[in-house]
Amino acid sequence: MVFRKPPDGGWGWVIVAVSFFTQFLCYGSPLAVGVLYLEWLDAFGEGKGKTAWVGSLANGIGLLASPVCSICVSSFGARPVAIFSGFMVAGGLMMSSFAPNIYFLYVSYGIVVGLGCGLLYTATVTITCQYFDKHRGLALGLISTGSSVGLFIYAALQRELIELYGLDGCLLIVGALSLNILACGSLMRPLESSSSPPPEKTCVDKVPDQYFVYHEKEKTVEENISILEKGYTDEKCVNNVPDCKQDSILNKNVLSSISINEKDTYKKKVVEQTNFCKQLAKRKWQLYLTYWKETMVLFKNKVFSALFVAILLFDIGGFPPSLLMEDVARSANISEDDYYMPLISIIGIMTTIGKLILGILADFKWVNTLYLYVTTLLMTGVALFAIPFAKSYLTLAMLSGILGFLTGNWSIFPYVTTKTVGIEKLTHAYGILMFFAGLGNSLGPPIVGWFYDWTQEYDTAFYFSGFCVLLGGFLLLLAALPCWNACTKQSSKLPPNTYSYKVASNA
């Protein structure tokens, strides 16, 4: 498939709109799982760390499977993957309404819904990057706000549905709403070249010349024809002796009537069939080797290596507040009269604003997106350190808003990845980075929950979370310092198709 130049408009804005609603519908419930988390604690009576696995799996399993999701999108396209994933998300949510225990939720809500969300996220990001170049930061910021708006609305919606129809009815209704993803996915038209591709070679022409060793195969082909002729003649002689001579004459006439071109074609087909399996296995093995070689080349880039460590530590420490902030407020004995708005809703609306503002900033030439991303990491770490000192609704609401705004750096993360490795390696590199992000998402909330089960307070847990995020930010900052570029110029050049992140560039 040959892609033409990104149009930066036209049908691309339709792609932005449907991608926005896709992320809104698929991520609304998993990101607002903190409301369901309180209900599951009361319904199943399990520990906080054990129950937190449900929400962490839903948000992490899709990212863990990002390499597989990237392969699916590259192989089948964004539209088929989006439609198939819509069924997964809706089915998983509806199955969760019949969960008899917490272990059933691990599969239905954690794995099925999480994997569907991961496929949808990869599909929406990939197709948006294909349609936009100059305005890629704005486009990614707009589509990523879909999940944040979903968090804001679904936090209040699920709470209201639980009061009206109970937990099971809430999950059934939310699952039915997710079926609208099918309509959104059908509009994700692939960006292909308008000119028809050159005609494909026939299967015979695709076989390399070294496989056509005619002088070695000629004798075998003639022997096979002789064996077939002899077998047919012998059978006729046994069954009907008088007709034996006549059949032999007929067979010789038929064989003599075959032209030289037909014999050559037959020889080529025999050679092709005998070597096809060997050729296919060799090509597949070469593809796997190329994939791992390209992966190793990516990790030779210092910024990319630091980026995967930073995203892992960021998700270990930065994701738990969106899942556990409601329980933090309940543990702080905050009165319901002072509870004006769910803290998860505040995180959601501020994440929306953060994604938009950070996405717009990423399009300015004088803004270095890598430094902008590092700044959000360092500020997130400081905000996490401040959570143990918040003992009122107002302070928790302010910290929730700050954390939500800084979490909006997800909108510029694909932009940073593209500037680091190039657009042609975006799918490969992004899948690797999202794997580590999913690992952090999966481990973060259970770790914080285990800290609470162990100490009966959240202070130690959020100190640990803040330390993780600060460490990742400092490592990424060190890797992006200008001195590394000077060292790179003096050292040997990087392999082809790799990019060192120049901090003085327009990124």
Compute the distance between CA of residue 53 and CA of residue 59 in angstroms, rounded to an integer: 10
pLDDT of residue 52: 85
Residue 255 lies in a domain: no
Domain co-membership, 181 together with 318: no
Whether the pLDDT of residue 23 is over 50: the answer is: yes
The pLDDT confidence band at residue 212, using thresholds 50, 70 and 90, is very low
Domain co-membership, 300 together with 415: yes
Residue 131 lies in a domain: yes
pLDDT of residue 507: 32
Please compute the mean of the pLDDT values over residues 367-394 and round it to a whole number. Answer: 89
pLDDT of residue 90: 94
Domain co-membership, 171 together with 302: no
Whether the pLDDT of residue 245 is over 60: the answer is: no
Of 194, 219, 235, which marks where a domain is finished? 194
Domain co-membership, 17 together with 140: yes
Domain co-membership, 449 together with 334: yes
Whether the pLDDT of residue 25 is over 90: the answer is: yes
Torsion angle of alpha carbons 326, 164, 58, 182, nearest 10°?
Answer: -140
pLDDT of residue 182: 93
Residue 495 lies in a domain: no
Of 194, 225, 255, which marks where a domain is finished? 194
Residue 494 lies in a domain: no
Whether the pLDDT of residue 138 is over 90: the answer is: no
pLDDT of residue 498: 39
pLDDT of residue 448: 82
The pLDDT confidence band at residue 218, using thresholds 50, 70 and 90, is very low
pLDDT of residue 209: 43
Domain co-membership, 309 together with 188: no
pLDDT of residue 291: 64
What would the two tokens of residue 230 be? 């002899």
Contact by Cβ (8 Å): 243, 236:
yes
Domain co-membership, 49 together with 174: yes
Residue 228 lies in a domain: no
* Alpha helical stretches, state H, 456-504: 459-479, 482-490
pLDDT of residue 216: 42
CATH number of the domain encompassing residue 433: 1.20.1250.20
Query: In degrees, to the nearest 5, what angle opens at C-alpha 176 toward C-alphas 175 and 182?
Result: 100
Classify each residue of 186-204 as buried b or exposed e, where b means 16 or more C-beta atoms within 10 Å of its C-beta.
ebbeebeeeeeeeeeeeee
- How many domains does the chain fold into? 2
Of 194, 215, 246, which marks where a domain is finished? 194
Question: Which of 57-71, 167-181, 479-493 is predicted with the least confidence, judged by mean pLDDT?
Answer: 479-493
Higher pLDDT, 97 or 503: 97
Number of residues written out for the chain:
507
pLDDT of residue 211: 40
Compute the distance between CA of residue 56 and CA of residue 441 in angstroms, rounded to an integer: 6
pLDDT of residue 71: 81
The pLDDT confidence band at residue 198, using thresholds 50, 70 and 90, is very low
Higher pLDDT, 124 or 293: 124
pLDDT of residue 470: 93
The pLDDT confidence band at residue 208, using thresholds 50, 70 and 90, is very low
45 φψ region: left (φ > 0), alpha (ψ -120 to 50), beta (else): left
Helix (H) or strand (E) holding 83: helix 78-96
Please compute the mean of the pLDDT values over residues 149-156 and round it to a whole number. Answer: 86
Question: Which of 277-291, 311-325, 490-504 is predicted with the least confidence, judged by mean pLDDT?
Answer: 490-504
Contact by Cβ (8 Å): 318, 371:
no
pLDDT of residue 112: 94
Q: Quote the radius of gyration of the chain (alpha carbons, Å).
A: 30
- In order of 32, 54, 107, 461, the CA distances from 100 in angstroms are 22, 14, 12, 30
Higher pLDDT, 422 or 260: 422
Domain that holds residue 386: 285-483
Residue 503 lies in a domain: no
Compute the distance between CA of residue 167 and CA of residue 364 in angstroms, rounded to an integer: 46
The pLDDT confidence band at residue 504, using thresholds 50, 70 and 90, is very low
Whose structure tokens read 């999202």? 434
Question: Which of 65-69, 84-88, 194-198, 380-384 is predicted with the least confidence, judged by mean pLDDT?
Answer: 194-198
- In order of 135, 137, 371, 475, the CA distances from 362 in angstroms are 9, 6, 11, 21
pLDDT tens digits along 75-112: 888 899 999 999 999 999 999 999 999 999 999 999 99
Percent of the chain predicted with pLDDT > 90: 20
pLDDT of residue 178: 94
Residue 270 lies in a domain: no
Record the pTM. Answer: 0.63
pLDDT of residue 268: 63
Mean pLDDT of the chain, nearest integer: 76
Higher pLDDT, 244 or 451: 451
pLDDT tens digits along 462-489: 898 899 999 998 988 888 776 555 444 4
Compute the distance between CA of residue 428 and CA of residue 439 in angstroms, rounded to an integer: 17
Whether the pLDDT of residue 346 is over 60: the answer is: yes
Domain co-membership, 460 together with 315: yes
Residue 461 lies in a domain: yes
